[in-house]
């Protein structure tokens, strides 16, 4: 893999949209259906109330992560690393970049929803200092949902 550059991207950019197809395909494999029915709009990730970050290897996008404002918090969305780029610490780098971006925008913590069929994500979040919080989002009350938060 070439040197990676983590940068901000537009949610509607063609390369981003292509990567998001992979995100939704993997979520669908794990959970069925569309993978995630959470309402999302491109404007959700517009600074200063959000950001959409990607990891670019010079040839293609290999990871993404985004946050959108949720009150005083930043809600993590679309955290994903392509299968070909896994196992190299990229998820942790993306998570750190999201935390830095949210902190710079004045958010007090990062919160997220994940599911019990994503043990890799759960392991990453817990090892990065995230702790379980009360469920809050679109999937609040659904079986298998796990909500986490981390003070910034």
Give the tens place of pLDDT for each residue, 17-71: 999 999 999 999 999 998 899 999 999 999 999 999 999 999 999 999 999 999 9
Q: What is the CATH number of the domain that holds 119?
A: 3.40.630.30
pLDDT in tens, 81-129: 999 999 999 999 999 999 999 999 999 999 999 999 999 999 999 999 9
Longest dimension (CA), the chain: 42
Q: Give the number of domains in the chain.
A: 1
Q: Which domain covers residue 31, as residue numbers?
A: 5-151
Task: Name the token pair of 127.
Answer: 């090892």
Question: What is the layout of strands, in order, in the sheet containing 61-70?
Answer: 5-8, 50-56, 61-70, 73-81, 109-115, 145-151, 131-132
């Amino acid at each position: 893999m070439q040197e990676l550059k983590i940068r901000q991207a537009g949610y509607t950019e063609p390369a981003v949209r292509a990567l998001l197809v992979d995100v939704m395909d993997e979520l669908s494999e794990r959970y069925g259906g569309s993978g995630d029915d959470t309402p999302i709009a491109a404007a959700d990730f517009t600074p200063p109330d959000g950001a959409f970050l990607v990891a670019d290897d010079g040839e293609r996008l290999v990871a993404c992560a985004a946050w959108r404002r949720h009150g005083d918090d930043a809600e993590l969305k679309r955290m994903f690393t392509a299968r070909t780029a896994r196992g190299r610490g990229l998820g942790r780098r993306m998570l750190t970049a999201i935390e830095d971006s949210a902190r710079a925008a004045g958010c007090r913590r990062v919160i997220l929803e994940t599911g019990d069929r994503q043990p890799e994500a759960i392991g990453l979040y817990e090892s990065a200092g995230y702790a379980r919080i009360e469920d809050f989002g679109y999937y609040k009350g659904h079986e298998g949902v796990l909500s986490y938060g981390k003070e910034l």
